[in-house]
Amino acid sequence: MPRKLTKQITVIEPECDITKRMSLANIMRHAQQMGSYHLHELGIGYDRMYEDGMVFLVSKMLITVNRRPGFDEPLLLTTVPKKPKGVQFIRDTYFDTMSGERLVEVSIAWLLADPYAHKILRPSKFDRYGIEMFPNDGEYITGYRIKRPEGPGERHLRQIKYSDLDYNHHVNNAIYSNIVCDLVPLQVLLEREISKFGIIYQKEAKAGQVITLELVGAEDQPTFYVGGRLDDARCFESEIKFR
């Protein structure tokens, strides 16, 4: 039968931003790592999948925040794998207090890819492992879209450096949230709380490349849009909402 994975953690100081709350990037890292822990527990580590000609790549991510965890706060993380929809694998991860209060929900759509040819693989390739997953009833990440709002945008450039990269030799998915937050006015981040962050990854960025970024939004608005392009191709689109 399908299995969830639950793990207890404590928020450490380096995971927090200037507000003493866990940063978006570290929320994303924990959600990704919970998926890795789960696969390891089931006997399917990264190395085994790589040898079998498969890796998981994040396609979309949507984070819903009731309250970001604070420094030294104990948490119970639960990750739930759901059956694929089309070519998208689905995994939801929940960040709860020890008393059961739901703080953060992260829903991720993953693509199975060939690490050598960089081609998307059919989910049936993963069937060899015999992993049972929960029904995808009620899932919303596969249909998630981001629309650029009307109005002028503000242009920025961001060159990719060594510290942005992960073992797949491209910008790690969590780094994009740092890129987005670096464009949002500091006063907004200090005075208001994040309620949602969504991102769609479209083209990987590698060392030395320059992403042309566009910020659309104003301090008196609840939502900021950030899109990125590599030459003529869309790299990513994101939106960050505040309450």
Domain ranges of the chain: 5-129, 154-242
**Average pLDDT of the chain, as a whole number:** 96
Whether the CB-CB separation of 217 and 150 falls below 8 Å is answered with no
pLDDT number for residue 2:
86
What is the band of 117 on the pLDDT scale with cuts at 50, 70, 90? Answer: confident
- Calpha distance 74→10 (Å, rounded): 4
pLDDT over 90 at 41, yes or no: yes
> What pLDDT shows up at residue 61?
98
Per CATH, is 154-242 categorized as 3.40.50.1580?
Answer: no
Q: Is the pLDDT of residue 215 over 90?
A: yes
Task: Measure the CA–CA gap between 167 and 238, rounded to whole angstroms.
Answer: 23
CATH 3.10.129.10 fits 5-129, yes or no: yes
- The answer to whether domain 5-129 and domain 154-242 are alike in fold is yes
pLDDT score, position 25: 98
